[in-house]
Structures are given as structure tokens and as C-alpha cells.
A = this chain, B = another copy of it.
């Protein structure tokens, strides 16, 4: 163990930034189950996927055995604008908690998009550009992904069409304006610009939309417009691959000071941040080189890991996307209007689902008032206003540090701070005014979600 003093922030130099992404799947003996074509119920082929996604991304999606994928130089140059991002030693939080534990966090909010989403957005935009496409389409709910993608497309001179869930479009005008500042077109969904949008509007006049509907519109436009493809900010293997930069940098930074974390914590919605953060650590664990406690934190209002089924399910409410085997609450499950918009997906990325099923990681569900309590404490002592999503990880990091206080253990805790909460002040206002409540789905509500799952036994 090095006796060197650990700084507040451990930065890597640009030369030390990883030059390859790492795919967890390469080290998994039992691989995640493949995506299925909802029509044929057979594994999707590269050709089928290429109608929706860029070719090189399809290859990344389907490749189960390659461990290291070179990061193209143009992407690395973009990364240099905001990466390597620091691992921060939370000295002030430790002092506040009076814990013997050491707390570290990998901070991914140091870019205008405000979150880790940019790591994959620039990669997906790059491959679209390389393929000679004109633009990409996507959907956004909370807005972090849409913001990141707009920024990446602006950089590469690629058109970007974002379908934004109508209620977010209206309630989060600032998110909308950031995207527009980056040159994206932002359409409230459902819209009359797509067939499926018009159908939904006719069926449910006055609806404020849903992520599932926005996905359907984005996919429709991508597949019906010459030179366009659809891109997605989470769930997929390709996204986990790009996000591995988070964990690779974190591990390299910790290694510099001989720090081996005992516990690694990340919030989990679709799984992009958690999968990225844990990847090299999970790789070691899969190869039997090192053991870590790995904890996925999800909102009690949308508890796919802790209360979901591990089964094939639709990825979208409209049921037009591929079937994925994952922990799921059912594509018809409607989570309460919590303030962690990025954690409201009914399912979980198949790779993390398989790892969870194999007992390689734990999961815990937390309630939003306790999450904001942790967020406020963190903001006051660490000087970063955390996103509600990220604050789920903060909550559990604090809980684990408090356990160490009781036992006297000097555990090393690493968590992922995925982004900042500048666009979540409505939620903070509710918390400040004491009018935030918790909402935990009943068993009946979850059963209702499951009722929408595929009827066939897969």
C-alpha cells in the first residue's frame, strides 16, 4: 500500500486515457441472451439490425468475444475536451459522516451535456458520420441523452432529430433549448410528423406522450428517411462498450495510488452508467482475479432488478423494437412520475441482467426522499449539485459508509457520479419545500405491467 497522500482529485493525463474500450461480454462464460426479432422470434441478424443502426455499431452489438475495441482517434480527440474525468476522493463527505471509510467517486458531469451520456453519443455519431449518413434520430425523456447527442452531432456536422416526450418538452424548456442551441431539431412526441404519432394522437387525444411512443417515432423516421439511422443511449451492448471508458479510467486512477475498492456502486436505469463503471472490475471478478462487492441502485418506484422478472420482453411500450431478455417490470409498466427521469425504464440492460442472474452483483432499491436527502448533504459538502439519478448511488454510498462507522471498518467505496442536477431544480424545489413524496408500486401494479409481456415462452 502506497503511503503517498491521496489528492482530492486524481486526474489522468491525456496520454493515460484508455485507447481501447472493453467489453464485459468477452469475459462472461455464459453470455447474455440475444435480441430477438419480434416477428420471427429468432435472433436478430446483422442485416436486420443494419436497417435501424449503423453498420459498425451493429458489429459491436453482436460481437460477443472481442474484449478490446480500439477507440478511433477522432473520438479520442473529442473525449479530450472533457476527459479524462477525475476520480474524486470525497474527503469532505467522509468528514461530515465521520466515517473511517474512504469514499471515491468518478465524476462524469464535467461537460455541457451534464452527464456520462456523451461518451456513447460521440461514438454513435462518429460511426454514423463514417458511414456517410446525413443524420440520426433518437428519443429523449429527461433530456440528458438528447442533449449529449445534439452536442456530438453539432461537433461532427450531422443532423440530429430528437423526439422529446411531450410532457418533458413542455416542463423542461431549458433542456429543449440546450438541444436547439446545439442545432438539433426537437419535436414533442407524439407528433403528427409520423404515422405512429398520428395514430396515437387519434387514439389518445391530448396525451402527453411516453418514452415508448417517442422511441417508435424516432425509429419510424430513421427507417423511412434516406441517410438516417436510429441511436439509443442505454440498454444496448454497444452503449456499455462505449461507457467502459468510465470504469477503465477509474481503475487506472485508483491503481496509481494502489487503491482497491471494496464496494462499487452505481445507479441503474437502462444500465449504461453502471455497466460502464464496473466493466474492468467485473472483468477481473469474472476472470477470478479479484473480488468486489458491486451494487446496482434503482429507484423504489421502478425496481426492475429487485422486483422484476428475468425474461424476454419488449423494449418499448409500442412493442415494435427487438425483444430482449432482461429483468423487467413489463413494457406496460408505468412508473410513478419520479424525478429521476433517467431511471424510469421498465427493463434493464441484458448484459447486466445476466450478470445479476449469475450472482455477480447485488441490487438495492431506494426511495426518492432519502435520495434527495443524500443529494443535499453531498451538494453542501462536496460542492457538486448531483443529478437525481446519480444521487441514488450517493444514497447507498453514504449508507455503506455509515455502516463502516458502526463497525469501524475502513472500507474503500467507489461510486459513479453520472451527472449534474442543473436541470432538475423543480425536483429540488419540491424537496426543499417538503412536498416530495415516495411512490412504491403495489404488487398489483407490477402484475399489470407483466400482463403486457410476450405470451410465448422464450
The residues of A with any CB-CB pair to B shorter than 8 Å are: 7-9, 11, 13-14, 77-78, 80-82, 88, 91-92, 110-114, 118, 151, 154-155, 173-174, 177-178, 180-183, 376, 379-385, 420, 422-423, 425-426, 428-429, 431-432
A2 to B194, CA, bound (A): 57
Q: Smallest CB-CB separation from A114: which chain B residue?
A: B422
A431 to B181, CA, bound (A): 9
A110 to B425, CA, bound (A): 18
Please indicate the chain B residues that have their CB under 8 angstroms from the CB of A111 in the complex.
Answer: 383-384
Whether B177 pairs with A429 at a CB distance below 8 angstroms is yes
A422 to B144, CA, bound (A): 13
Please indicate the chain B residues that have their CB under 8 angstroms from the CB of A154 in the complex.
Answer: 379-381
Q: A385's contact among B78, B112, B376, by CB below 8 Å, is which?
A: B112
Whether B428 pairs with A383 at a CB distance below 8 angstroms is no
Whether A181 pairs with B81 at a CB distance below 8 angstroms is no
Please indicate the chain B residues that have their CB under 8 angstroms from the CB of A77 in the complex.
Answer: 91
Q: Smallest CB-CB separation from A372: which chain B residue?
A: B181
Whether A383 pairs with B151 at a CB distance below 8 angstroms is yes
Please indicate the chain B residues that have their CB under 8 angstroms from the CB of A80 in the complex.
Answer: 7-9
Please indicate the chain B residues that have their CB under 8 angstroms from the CB of A428 in the complex.
Answer: 177-178, 180-181
Please indicate the chain B residues that have their CB under 8 angstroms from the CB of A177 in the complex.
Answer: 425, 428-429, 432
Please indicate the chain B residues that have their CB under 8 angstroms from the CB of A9 in the complex.
Answer: 14, 80
Whether A420 pairs with B382 at a CB distance below 8 angstroms is no
Please indicate the chain B residues that have their CB under 8 angstroms from the CB of A376 in the complex.
Answer: 181
Q: A379's contact among B14, B112, B174, B429, by CB below 8 Å, is which?
A: B112
How many Å from the CB of A436 to the closest CB on chain B?
13
Q: A7's contact among B7, B14, B182, by CB below 8 Å, is which?
A: B14
Whether B82 pairs with A383 at a CB distance below 8 angstroms is yes
Whether A81 pairs with B8 at a CB distance below 8 angstroms is yes
Given contacts A14-B7, A173-B425, A420-B112, whether A385 and B178 have CB atoms under 8 Å apart is yes
How many Å from the CB of A367 to the closest CB on chain B?
19
Please indicate the chain B residues that have their CB under 8 angstroms from the CB of A382 in the complex.
Answer: 81
Q: A381's contact among B13, B82, B155, by CB below 8 Å, is which?
A: B155
Please indicate the chain B residues that have their CB under 8 angstroms from the CB of A91 in the complex.
Answer: 77
How many Å from the CB of A303 to the closest CB on chain B?
27
How many Å from the CB of A113 to the closest CB on chain B?
8
Q: Smallest CB-CB separation from A420: which chain B residue?
A: B112
Whether A178 pairs with B81 at a CB distance below 8 angstroms is no
A sample of 8 more A-B contacts (CB under 8 A), given A81-B383, A112-B420, A181-B380, is: A7-B14, A8-B14, A9-B80, A111-B384, A112-B383, A114-B422, A151-B380, A154-B379
Q: Smallest CB-CB separation from A15: which chain B residue?
A: B7
Q: Smallest CB-CB separation from A422: which chain B residue?
A: B422
Q: Smallest CB-CB separation from A7: which chain B residue?
A: B14
